Amino acid sequence: MAILLFSAVATAFLFANGSQEKGKVQQATVKWDQWWYSDPVRGPNVTWEIQEFEKTHPNIKVVPAAISSTAYWDQIPLDIASGTEGDIVTLDTGAGMNQYYNQRPGGAFVDLKPYIKGYTLPDGTNLEKDIVLLDQMDRNGKTIALPFLWFAAPDTAYRKSDLKNAGIDPSQLTTWSGYENAAKALAKDGKYGFGQPDSQDVLSRWWLMNWLWTAGGGIFPDEKGPYTADRLIFNSQANIYALTYLKRLIDEAGPSGQKSYPELEALFANGNLATMQIALWGVGNLQKNMKPAGSFESDLGLAPFPSLTLDGVTHKPVYVAWGNPLALSTLSKNPKAAFEFMAFLDSKAVQERETVAAAPVNTLVMPWYKEHFPVQYTFLNDARKYTFRIVPDIANWNQWDHVIQESLNAALLGTKSVKDALDWGQQQMIQLLKQN
């Protein structure tokens, strides 16, 4: 009787942990494609996560790919096309998922719904109930990825002391007109009043689109389909207004020349930049690097992205939100083992550790997040009051991204007028649509 009772309890435990369909995974090696392993901040997390997982899964060996962030988005589509991608492929909702998923007839990634259904981790995390953004992973009724991390941008970071010395109320930063006046007033005595990343790189979708969206523009209305030429709004008056404003602000209150986010962050941390647009993950960098010591606690202020009143109509801020979900390759020889590791990455212990650079997708972690990362929690909580948006999930997004980068940078650098730059971008987009 005791043996039968033990067997029943063991069976119940397996069912409670989503293992009823998986069974015991045999010896397996799983390759994880991501771009963090060589990063000085994120790399140690990858190492720790693999070591912790292998302690409880000694039959599964996880091998992390060492692909840089700059090379990753060019390499992954080539790997998928040649069938050499890892078992687990890390994606970016801001870079689209369809362009990778649709590379293989029937889809390059496994439908995870059967894996997720009823799956509960040993720490009590129920993948169906406790993981946010799961609905955003659906494509044609299939769940093609599992949320892992997510991000939001931007808030306005400012030096409280700079605003106080200039007699500027922080609330002035919450409108486009107020921000422009404040930034110009702060740009004096060798200090810059405004910082906006404008270098030509993949980050353009994080730092520039929110200005267009808040003005009522973008690529397509609300970035929703159908994605057809007649619905393109890239050279709209709203986008012209937003870019003209942004160029004026950069020219009159920002540092000269193209500036990347890390360059601006360094200027802000050293006290040479009074305000800048930051992402959620940038808060942790400022916590480590702001000078003098104690400035993060005493001198850092955050304001929501500014609203715009235009022709008597107030446009509320539109934030950028994106995530790094994990997809399971249809070519994986060890899909059960790979999913076990994917699920582990959504555990409370991993999610707590990853908050150094992102927001947790595990809702059970939020009370801990609020206690240990109050500034980041405030950022996220404030941002959630407004609209979140990402760029459209177009199948050939990489090509679109390059067009957007070239167009917006030409406008901001002045190599083309704002209108000419946007007209050029719209024509290029029309050509891309004809290729589909």
**pLDDT tens-digit readout, 321-355:** 888 999 999 999 999 999 999 999 999 999 999 88
Res 24: pLDDT: 63
- pTM value? 0.82
Res 330: pLDDT: 98
Domain boundaries defined on the chain? 14-148+324-361, 153-320+392-435
- Contact predicate 25/57, CB 8 Å: yes
Share of residues in the chain with pLDDT > 70 (%): 93
- Contact predicate 208/309, CB 8 Å: no
For the stretch 79-132, pLDDT in tens is 999 999 999 999 988 778 988 999 999 999 999 999 999 999 999 999 999 998
Band of residue 5 on the pLDDT scale cut at 50, 70, 90: very low
Cα of first residue to Cα of last residue in the chain, in angstroms, is: 66
pLDDT, mean over the chain? 90
For the ranges 137-146, 268-277, 385-394, the lowest mean pLDDT is seen at: 385-394
Res 96: pLDDT: 82
> Residue 22: pLDDT above 70?
no
For the stretch 410-431, pLDDT in tens is 999 999 999 999 999 999 999 9
For the ranges 293-302, 338-347, 401-410, the lowest mean pLDDT is seen at: 401-410
> Residue 2: pLDDT above 60?
no
Res 202: pLDDT: 55
CATH of domain 153-320+392-435: 3.40.190.10
Res 204: pLDDT: 64
Res 390: pLDDT: 86
Band of residue 3 on the pLDDT scale cut at 50, 70, 90: very low
Band of residue 39 on the pLDDT scale cut at 50, 70, 90: confident
> Residue 174: pLDDT above 90?
yes
Same fold: 14-148+324-361 with 153-320+392-435 = yes
> Residue 200: pLDDT above 70?
no
> Residue 372: pLDDT above 80?
yes
Res 14: pLDDT: 33
Res 119: pLDDT: 98
Res 101: pLDDT: 94
Does the domain at 14-148+324-361 match CATH 3.90.1150.10? Answer given as no
For the stretch 54-87, pLDDT in tens is 999 999 999 999 898 888 988 999 999 999 999 9
